[in-house]
Amino acid sequence: ETGVTQTPRHLVMGMTNKKSLKCEQHLGHNAMYWYKQSAKKPLELMFVYSLEERVENNSVPSRFSPECPNSSHLFLHLHTLQPEDSALYLCASSQDLGGALTITDTQYFGPGTRLTVL
Amino acid sequence: AQKVTQAQTEISVVEKEDVTLDCVYETRDTTYYLFWYKQPPSGELVFLIRRNSFDEQNEISGRYSWNFQKSTSSFNFTITASQVVDSAVYFCARSTGSARQLTFGSGTQLTVLP
């Protein structure tokens, strides 16, 4: 496997289900991201992890719960979602270059999970 | 919020035509990065180019070229002799030099007809 992979590619769930999205990066990066892409809206950054610590959380509802057990894996746990949460969820990774200013290199994206909430 | 604007929602061209995708950004930062990504129907965002705010040289890569004009806050993307495989949604994005946040434009759907 190369690059950034995501599973599953498609997911249909009811509002009472609990499911998880998985992302794995094979690029040796130390930062990972979750984005949401809804129809006709710009990509929205949800969470950022750097060195396995959550460094940004952009006012995302608590029904989305991220987990980063190591620098290669990122999960997004889903529970009691709403139909408006239906979207393409994209994972990305980059190399944080550190320093006094946190400079980060280019983000590379996975193919996404197409989520439909019924 | 400092926006990235891609005014062209959809563009259709016939194969072999040249096409330019516009991107205008807002920023209060002196150091920032600009990006273009391609999203084919498969969904994956494919990285095309990254430029930093101090480098205004235009860049050419095969059929792709980019025109960065700091004075007008624009970073336009031209595809020369377009091909059907160029059909995709193209996103322009901006990040600041000290943040991990990418601000994306709303994308331009390019359709290249045979």
Task: Report the C-alpha gap between B21 and B88 in whole angstroms.
Answer: 12
pLDDT band at A115 (very low <50, low <70, confident <90, very high): very high
Residue A100 has what pLDDT? 43
10 Å CB burial of residue A45 (0-12, 13-18, 19+) is buried
Q: Inter-chain contact A107–B91, Cβ cutoff 8 Å?
A: no
pLDDT surpasses 70 at A108 = yes
Closest to B98 (Cβ–Cβ): which among A33, A50, A103? A103
Average pLDDT over residues A43-62: 84
- Across A14-18, A22-26, B103-107, which has the greatest mean pLDDT? A22-26
HEC secondary structure over A9-32: CEEEECCCCEEEEEEEECCCCCEE
CA distance A8 to A114: 8
Interface probe for B, chosen from A47, A107, A114 (most Cβ of B below 10 Å), is A107
Rounded to a whole number of angstroms, the distance between the first and last alpha carbons of chain B is: 40
Report the residue count for chain B.
Answer: 114
Task: Encode pLDDT of B22-63 as tens digits.
Answer: 999 998 888 888 999 999 988 889 999 988 888 888 888 899
CB B76 within 8 A of CB B23: yes
- Token output for B8: 């062209």
3-state secondary structure of B95: strand
**Contact: B100, A96; criterion CB under 8 Å:** yes
Using DSSP's 3-state secondary structure scheme, residue B49 falls into strand
Task: Give the per-residue pLDDT at A101.
Answer: 47
pLDDT of B1 strictly over 80? no
Rounded distance between C-alpha atoms, residue B46 and residue B54, angstroms? 24
Q: What is the mean pLDDT of residues A14-26?
A: 94
Average pLDDT for chain A: 89
Lowest model confidence (mean pLDDT) among A99-108, B5-14, B79-88: A99-108
Q: Do B100 and A102 touch (CB under 8 A)?
A: yes
- Rounded to the nearest angstrom, the minimum Cα separation between A40 and chain B is 7
Q: What is the pLDDT of residue B46?
A: 94
Residues A26 and B87 sit within 8 Å (Cβ to Cβ)? no
- pLDDT exceeds 90 at position A53: no
Report chain B residues whose CB lies below 8 A from the CB of A92: 45
Chain B residues in contact with A108 (beta carbon < 8 A): 47
Residue B90 bridge partners (DSSP): B38, B108
Residue B97 pLDDT > 90, yes or no?
A: no
Strand B88-96 to B32-39 pairing: antiparallel
Q: What is the dihedral of CA A75, A78, A82, A86, to 10 degrees?
A: 30
For A68-99, write each residue's pLDDT tens digit.
999 999 999 999 999 999 999 999 999 887 65
Count how many pairs of residues, chain A against chain B, have C-beta atoms within 8 Å.
55
Strand partners, B33: B52, B95
pLDDT at A40: 74
| pLDDT class of B99 with cuts at 50, 70, 90 | low
Residues of chain B contacting A103 with CB distance shorter than 8 Å: 97-98
Chain A residues with CB-CB distance to B45 below 8 A: 90, 92, 109
In tens, the pLDDT along B57-88 reads 888 889 999 999 999 999 999 999 999 999 99
Would the CB atoms of A106 and B50 count as touching at under 8 Å? Answer: yes
Q: What amino acid is encoded at B9 in this protein?
A: T
Q: How many CB atoms lie within 10 A of CB A29?
A: 21
Cα(A20)–Cα(A36) distance, integer angstroms:
15
- B34 vs A contacts (CB less than 8 Å): none
Q: Which of A103-112, B5-14, B22-31, B33-42 bottoms out in mean pLDDT, i.e. has the lowest?
A: A103-112
